[in-house]
Every structure is written in C-alpha cells, then in structure tokens.
Amino acid sequence: MNYTLHQLQIFLKICQIQSITKASEELHLTQPAVSIQLKNFQDQFPIPLTEVVGRKIYITEFGREIAEAAEKILNEVNAINHKTLTYQGQLSGRLKISIVSTGKYVMPYFVSEFMKQNPGVELIIDVTNKSGVLKSLELNEVDFALVSVLPKKLNITKVELMQNSLFFVGSNQLNLKKSNDKKNLFENTPIIYREQGSATRNAMERFITTNKFSVQKKIELTSNEAVKQAVLSGLGCSIMPLIGIKNELKNNDLQIIKVKGLPIITTWNLISLTSKKSSPVAIAYLDFINSKKEEIINTHFSWIGNY
C-alpha cells in the first residue's frame, strides 16, 4: 500500500461529514480533486470503504475502522510536528474554540494577532448553535466557547470580551411615517426569528412578552446570515445583533428602527470548564486575551459606539 497523509486526511473528513461536496469546501479543495483522491485511496483496499445510495455517500463498517486508524495516524503526525516546534522554542499545539453563529463576527478579531505571533499553533473554530456549543464544552471537546448567555448547569470560568447589542432592524425601503406607527409595525409586519434555542431568539421572545406585543406572522430561519438576507429583501423585520450588520448600515441597506426598550444589551463571554486542565496553548491564549482585549475592541469595534 502506498497511501499518503493527504489521502488519509481527505478520507477522514469525508467520513466525519459524509459528504464529498462539504468535505471539499472545508478542505479548500475542488470536488473533483477530493473524488479523485478518494478513488485512489479506495483502490488500495480490496474491501469497499464507502458506498453510494442515490446521491448520498455512506461509510461501510470497514471504512469506519480505517477512518479510526487514519485519525490516530494524523494525530500522531500532529504530535510529531508540535514536538518539533516545541524543541525549536515555539509555542505549538491546537487551540479549539466553539462559537455560536453570530460569534463569527467577533471571534476572528480576538485570535488573529495571537495566531500571527504563534505560527506553530493550529486553530480550529467550530461554528454551531447554542446547544452545540454547550455540548462540546460539557464533553471537554474544546478549550473555550464564546457565548452571550452563560450556562447555568456548568461550572465555568469566564472572561468578558465585549457588549453585544440587539436592535430592531428593517429594510431601508421600509417607510415609517409616524412615530406612533412603530408599535403597529412590530405587531403587523412579519417578524423573522432565529431557531429555537438561539440566544438571540430567547432575547427577542423575552422582549416581545415583556412589552405584550402580539406577533401575527412569524418566520423562522436557522442562521443570522439567513435572517439578514430576509430582512434585506423586505420579507420582514427582526431583532438582530449590531455586530453582524455593520456594512449593511453603512451602505444604507438596513435601518435601525427605534423602539422603546431596545437595544437589548448582552455580553460576549469566553468561557471554559473550571475543572479543565488547560494546555500550554490555551494558557497562553488566555494570557493574550486578558492583556489585549481592550486594544482589540478599540481597534476593531469602536464604531459600535456610533449607535
């Protein structure tokens, strides 16, 4: 057999995602390139690793065993690379952070300089929903999690990063004639929600309940980007994090509609399990955040004060 580490990496990713298309996207390769490498890898085994039913790829029992072996091999290779960098005096290892979807507008700015300073560190940012973030933290699968609502059932350590402001937002094509039209607008215009369990969804529902608004038409979408595009199209209005609509406000595509009781202010927190034995990379990153967060906020997020 003459398979390569690159083929192992591709096969493992396909097994984890069970999609050649999505695997190619995550690996930043073309779909044909991934398909060719999968075929070249499969040709070295007399037993099928995968099977296609309809348009969906399935991993055989033998394929799953090969995937487990591939993961162990790749982990050992990473360990060798990290040890080499350590002997060279460089910080090395893996930093894994799980974030909610709106956190993607925040987290990159809080890791960029750290990664430039430490080229031996491998960064993994998992973008998922609130329940997925908390599950990965509870199972000790990540070093840190970025959340705006702190979990009640986990013993965690937190670092407050920055405020998260939620405003009532509509398309700039929406005409508001009178100030007293705004309550009617909220109650009579379709309101676009995030999915159940989303921190933004929970904040919206608390606000609507507190103000005794009666929402007649609800639309539910499963990502902040999807909500933004729906609002841009004029499909409805929503309560959205300011952090995710900077360019749309700047280009006058969206408008903030002033409603009593808004904005809702929460805080982005970087949290970790108190009981977790932190790696040298995680410790170094925590030191970096504590010393640099104010500078990062002033450099990249000072525009928030304009709203």
Q: Please, which residues bridge with residue 267 across strands? A: 163
Region(s) of the chain under CATH 1.10.10.10: 5-86
pTM above 0.95, yes or no: no
Q: Looking at residue 243, what is its pLDDT? A: 94
Q: Looking at residue 298, what is its pLDDT? A: 96
Mean pLDDT of 194-206: 90
Q: pLDDT (tens digit, 9 = 90+) per residue, 82-121?
A: 677 666 667 888 899 999 989 999 999 999 999 999 988 9
Q: Looking at residue 40, what is its pLDDT? A: 93
**216 or 65: whose pLDDT is higher?**
65
Query: Which residues in the chain belong to E strands, given as ranges?
Result: 50-53, 56-59, 93-100, 121-128, 144-147, 156-171, 191-193, 218-220, 238-241, 254-256, 264-273
Q: Looking at residue 161, what is its pLDDT? A: 95
| b/e burial code for range 86-112 (CB count within 10 A of at least 16 → b) | eeeeebbbebbbbbbbbbbbbbebbbe
How far from 188 is each of 37, 50, 179, 208, CA to CA, in Å? 54, 52, 15, 13
Q: Name the CATH topology of 5-86.
A: Arc Repressor Mutant, subunit A (1.10.10)
Region(s) of the chain under CATH 3.40.190.10: 92-162+267-306, 164-266
Evaluate whether 41 touches 48 at the Cβ level (below 8 Å): no
Evaluate whether 101 touches 228 at the Cβ level (below 8 Å): no
Q: Looking at residue 92, what is its pLDDT? A: 82
Q: pLDDT (tens digit, 9 = 90+) per residue, 68-84?
A: 999 889 888 877 776 77
Q: Name the CATH topology of 92-162+267-306.
A: D-Maltodextrin-Binding Protein; domain 2 (3.40.190)
Least confident of 171-180, 210-219, 235-244: 171-180
Mean pLDDT of 131-160: 93
Superfamily of domain 164-266: Periplasmic binding protein-like II (3.40.190.10)
Per-residue DSSP letter, 237: B
Q: pLDDT (tens digit, 9 = 90+) per residue, 3-56?
A: 899 999 999 999 998 899 989 888 888 999 999 999 999 999 999 999 988 888
Phi/psi for 125 (5° steps) reads: -115, 115
Would you place residue 186 in the very low, low, confident or very high pLDDT band (cuts 50, 70, 90)? confident
Mean confidence (pLDDT) of the chain = 90
Q: Looking at residue 85, what is its pLDDT? A: 66
Q: Looking at residue 182, what is its pLDDT? A: 62
Spatial distance between the Cα atoms of 114 and 225, rounded to a whole number of angstroms:
27
